[in-house]
Amino acid sequence: MNIRGILFDLDGVLISTARLHYLAWKEVANQLHIPFDEAENDRLRGISREASLEILLERYRGPALTPAQKKLWMDRKNQLYRQMLQDLTPASVAPDVSSALRKLRAAGFRLALGSSSKNARLILARTNLTDQFDAIVDGTEITHTKPDPEIYLLAASRLALPPSSCAVVEDAETGVAAAKAGGMLSIGLGPSAAPARPDLQIRSISELPDLLVHMHP
């Protein structure tokens, strides 16, 4: 294969912020008197804030919320999450992530970030990862969230590469589905991506350079 670009999801792939998302949604759920645990939180992986709130509200038994009220709760969740993000530092990046990105760049791959998170640039700035990427696309720039391929198609275009020359690294089913829908090589990281049947499966991001180096022209 002729792979020249690698597109990365952020949460769960480069930085583990799942716990922070859970704690922020848990606080919202508590205030709305909704039962919410980590198993329920798994349903929110890789989807938008709006879709996450709708899943949360499946167990809501209070008065119906207006669109304006829903927006207030989404804003509250994001406020809590952003407060927690202030504790991130470059040390929050696992050594194997930093090593893999360096090796891939040294091998000549172009790297892009494709994250549905509207806080992606803040996370990259706090962890000193911004300069590792030739292109960044976040949730503020897209109309359709994963599994729609829009975010990865936009990232590929910013690398000036056709989708067929790009690989996507994802840890969520919706992200793998987005990669496939966009005509890209899908690489699943960890067990959560496996049900979507990615083209390739890895257990650790440290496996990525050796896996892809022979695919570079």
Q: Which are the catalytic amino acids?
A: 9, 11
147: Cβ–Cβ under 8 A, 6 or more apart, which residues?
Answer: 173, 174, 175, 177, 178, 181
Angle subtended by helix axes 67-85 and 18-31, to nearest 10: 140
Contacts 24+ apart (CB under 8 A), 81-84: 81/20, 81/21, 81/24, 81/119, 82/119, 82/122, 84/20, 84/23, 84/24
DSSP conformation letters of 7-63: EE--BTTTB--HHHHHHHHHHHHHHTT----HHHHGGGTTS-HHHHHHHHGGG--SS
- CB-CB contact of 118 with 20 (8 Å): no
